[in-house]
Structure 1
Amino acid sequence: MHELSLCRSLIELLQEQAEQHRFTRVKQLWLEVGPLAAVVPEAMQFAFEAASRGSLAEGARLHLVELPGEAHCQACGFETSISQWYQACPRCGEYQLKVLSGDELQIRELEVE
């Protein structure tokens, strides 16, 4: 379950930001997650709860903001939505899609004290 590793890294990042910006507690956290980030929302929620125990984010509410995946076909120029890596272009069938968005996993917003 790579979500636990992601959440542990997230807690470390929050701790660094707390020291830099002088906050002591995270109350809410909004994470942008694209379909190509390979994150299972339920697993991410569970992992965040486990990883945040004893940290400045213990008890914080995690909001996952799902973003769309978009790609550009380098063969025919078609732009399409995608939900997984290595999809064929729905127009020409080639496997030359360049990801434009959808692999994000980033903090959008924090509510802190």
Structure 2
Amino acid sequence: MHEMSLMESVIEIVCETARLNGARQVKSIRLDVGVLSHVDPDALLFCYEAVRHGTLAGQANLEINRIAGEGWCLDCGKTVALQKRFGPCSGCGRHRVQMTAGDELKIRDMEVI
């Protein structure tokens, strides 16, 4: 399960950022996870419960925002919704679509005290 190593990295980044800014505790963490990222949000939540204890984020709430897949068609120039990686353009049906959203995993923000 690669979600465990991903969540360990998230907690490490969050706690280090909090320490560098003089925070005593992390109250909340918001993540953006793309629907095309091959990351399971439920697995992330499970892993979060396993790795947060004993850290500055030990009592933090975790919110996961799902980001829809989106791409730009190189043939017709439209921005289109993507339901899967390398999917066709919903406008012209061709497969020359450059993904612009939906494969990310990033820390959107965090609240500290």
TM-score, structure 2 length as denominator?
0.89
1:90 aligned partner: 90
Cα-to-partner distance string for 1:25-60 (whole Å, 9 max, x where unaligned): 112111112212222111111111111122111132
Matches within 5 A, 1:1-113: 1-113=1-113
Counterpart residue identity of residue 55, structure 1: T
- Structure 1: which 5+ runs fail to align? none
Distance 1:18 1:104 in 2: 22
Task: Indicate the percent of aligned positions where both proteins have the same amino acid.
Answer: 38
SS of equivalent residue, structure 1 residue 22: coil
Would you say how many aligned residue pairs link Structure 1 and Structure 2?
Answer: 113
Counterpart residue identity of residue 21, structure 2: H
**Structure 1 residue 76, shift from structure 2 partner:** 2.1
Cα-to-partner distance string for 1:65-88 (whole Å, 9 max, x where unaligned): 122221111122232111321111
4+ runs of 1 displaced by more than 4 Å?
none
Report the aligned-residue RMSD: 1.5
Distance 2:61 2:83 in 1: 26
Distance 1:37 1:51 in 2: 21
TM-score, structure 1 length as denominator?
0.89
Does the 8 A contact of 2:35 with 2:68 survive in 1? Answer: yes
* Richer in helix (by share): 1
